[in-house]
Amino acid sequence: MVRASERTYPQYLGKRYSTKATAFAGISTDGGTLLRWNPDGIDDSLVLKSGRWVAASAPKTASRLLNGSTTRAGTIRLDDSSYGSYAAIRGDKSTDRIVAWNTAPTLEAIHYAEDADFVYVSNRPLVIAIALAANSRRRIKVSREYLLEYLNFGFSVSGHTPFAGVMALPPRTSLSVARGKVQLIAAPTAPQTNLQEREDPRRTGADELVAALRAAVTRLLDAQPREEIQLRLSGGIDSRLLLGLLKESTATKITAVCQGDANSEEVMVASQLAALAGVELKVKTPELIDPTSIVESMRASIRESQGFIPSEALVSPYAVSDPIHQGESLAAGQWPLFKGVLERTADNALEATWRLLDSRNDDVLTPTLNAKVRGEVERWAASVPAFTNLEILYMWGRDIRSSRYLQPHAIQLDRDSEIFYPYVDSEVTAVADELPPFSRMRQISAYLAVEAVWPESLRVPLANNGRFRFEASGPVPGISDDYFEERSAKPQPYTGTVDQSAAERITDREFVTAPISSAAKYVTSHIQWRTLRRNLDPEIVQIVEESATVGEKSARGLAPADKSPRWLQLITWRLVLAVQWLEGDWIPRVKR
């Protein structure tokens, strides 16, 4: 199995990885083996000491976890040194026990499987699938359950991976392996976060949030393998706060990149922010993975994600990292929980809560399969210890939307760049968990964080008439009286250069000019359509097949009455990815 993994898996690694794995035998008393690939320039992601060891997916983390994780009264307890964003496996031969866990939100999840002979644990499920196939001397098997959940949600809610029998660790749990027996146990207990009460309750937690954000950025800066950082700067709340945090450090070269054209308000705003911060800005149109084809780029995205289907079908053809310098860190403001995800409304009645959760489900499967998939959401909700519906909505973002959604994205990005996402740091999560719900969901805490880190940036407008949620009716006395008029103005025009991708090389430009009808034609003429259509609602099948026979304008009009043409484009592009996934040409032949 080790030889098969060493020979088969490297073809899926990116340029910054060494293709040679390092194997450590005898990590448990019954002959366990640790196999790992290390990116160039990464230190302290594995430590072995007197029969104890820790492997972590993030650099400069393993030693901290070996010393900062303990057990007491049957509970794993972490101290302040264990903060970060990672998947970790810890072993101890003296107790013959291995424990694995991941932080939340989850960029790198722990995955696991078992057969009659072995237990398999990894942060990459493809490695497990290769080992399973090598042991059984069969081909790698894929998971139909994963595909069905992808079609409705864009990811798996239940934790199914693309590979049969390989599961992601459920939220708020750890994996324990002792004497060959597998058990899901409680996740490690993080240090208690206590917020100081403020005279103005809207400001409670603001100082602690800023301190956690600064600590997260410091951890990432200390661990990055190179000095270069590419910051994806859209000019929204997330990226301007991240730019403010980064510019506090003078030891790193920051290049801001905004994807768009000169007419984009996001580009205009990003230009103003970059000038204010004194950092270089590059404006460019997105690059395709395969510069000649939308369809081939979508196919390549599945392979780059190691069998996961990209959660965002509409941007799946585009290169995720597109590095300026190979091995650089890529910084982005991905899904900060301190802004709230679903809990954006004061109406947290049971009916309203389930209406919001149901809106996450696109219901494109047959009625029977839709009910089965909806049952996975209900099972997840039953696992959440919550006494308010607002807490359920917050936990959807924490457990599911900010975790399952990011897995294929993180795997793709990791091929070329070190991920630099401070908002998913476990210390930031710990503060977000304690923030007053109203301040979190109305973005008051987010505003106060920007004000503390980079107040001058609040003079720069938000793109496309954007506003902080709590400012929907105007500035709020005592919170955001300053700069409101400047922040609400139109951004200044962009007069710089735009790096244009070579669009004339694309052979299937119809996917750009007629995205719905072209996708429908591709799907319905594909050999896998007959297999796929059996799982879909008859109304969806009819819409897709009719869209394949008409022009784009007519196809846009075929969207269901309660859906938009953009929704129909999303579904047809998911179907393109689904038939490509069913082709199976991304599945490796296991080299024994």
Contact call for residues 76 and 174 (beta carbons, < 8 A): yes
The candidate with the shortest Cα–Cα distance to 45, out of 66, 30, 27, is 66
Q: pLDDT of 546-566, one tens digit each?
A: 999 999 999 999 999 999 999
Q: What is the mean pLDDT of residues 421-439?
A: 96
- Range name among 33-47, 133-147, 567-581 with the lowest pLDDT average: 33-47
Overall average pLDDT of the 266-287 stretch = 96
Q: Is pLDDT of 224 > 90?
A: no
Place of tokens 């955001």: 480
pLDDT of residue 110: 98
The residue behind tokens 């972590």 is 56
Determine the pLDDT at residue 222. Answer: 93
Q: What is the pLDDT of residue 512?
A: 94
Lowest mean pLDDT among 255-259, 350-354, 427-431, 449-453: 350-354
Rg (CA), the chain: 24
- Give the SS3 label for residue 35: strand
Cα gap 315→518, rounded to integer Å: 16
- C-beta of residue 411 within 8 angstroms of C-beta of residue 308: yes
Tens of pLDDT, residue by residue over 5-54, are 999 999 999 988 888 899 999 888 888 899 999 887 788 899 999 889 99
The pLDDT value recorded for residue 50 is 86
Task: Label residue 289 by pLDDT band (50, 70, 90).
Answer: very high
Q: How confident is the model at residue 198 (pLDDT cuts 50, 70, 90)?
A: very high
- The pLDDT score that the predictor gives to residue 238 is 95
8 Å CB contact between 139 and 590: yes
Burial 224-238 (b: 16+ CB within 10 A, else e): bbbebbbbbbbbbbb
Question: For 362-411, how does the pLDDT look when each residue is reduced to its tens digit (9 = 90+)?
Answer: 999 999 999 999 999 999 999 999 999 999 999 999 999 888 999 999 99
In 269-421, DSSP assigns E strands to 280-284, 329-331, 418-420
Contact of 118 with 5, CB cutoff 8 Å: no
* pLDDT for 97: 92
> What does the alpha-carbon distance between residue 290 and residue 506 come to, in Å, rounded to a whole number?
9
Q: Give the tens place of pLDDT for each residue, 82-119.
A: 999 999 999 998 888 999 999 999 999 999 999 999 99
Token output for 159:
């934790």
Q: Which of 58-67, 218-227, 333-342, 448-457 has the lowest average pLDDT?
A: 333-342
Rounded distance between C-alpha atoms, residue 165 and residue 167, angstroms: 6
Whether 133 shows a pLDDT value over 90: the answer reads yes
Biggest alpha carbon distance in the chain? 69
pLDDT band for 283, please (50, 70, 90 cuts).
Answer: very high
The 10s digit of each residue's pLDDT in 311-360 is: 999 999 999 999 998 889 999 998 889 988 888 777 778 999 999 999 99
pLDDT (tens digit per residue) in 459-512: 999 999 889 999 989 999 999 988 999 999 999 999 999 998 777 789 999 999
Least confident range from 339-353, 420-434, 514-528: namely 339-353
pLDDT confidence tier of residue 165, bands split at 50, 70 and 90: very high
**Cβ neighbours of residue 300 closer than 8 Å, sequence gap 6 or more:** 289, 290
Give the pLDDT confidence score for residue 348 in this predicted structure: 79
**Residue pLDDT, tens place only, 300-312:** 999 999 999 999 9
Query: Of 123-137, 218-232, 493-507, 548-562, which gets the smallest average pLDDT?
Result: 493-507
Q: What is the average pLDDT across 246-255?
A: 87
- The chain-wide mean pLDDT, for the chain, equals 94
Sheet holding 167-168, edge to edge: 119-122, 111-114, 167-168
Question: Could you tell me the strand order of the sheet in which 280-284 lies?
Answer: 280-284, 253-259, 228-232, 329-331, 418-420
Q: How confident is the model at residue 227 (pLDDT cuts 50, 70, 90)?
A: confident
pLDDT at 460: 96
- Residue 19 is predicted with a pLDDT of 84
Q: What are the phi and psi torsion angles at 238 (to 5°)?
A: -65, -55
Structure-block tokens of residue 583: 């082709």
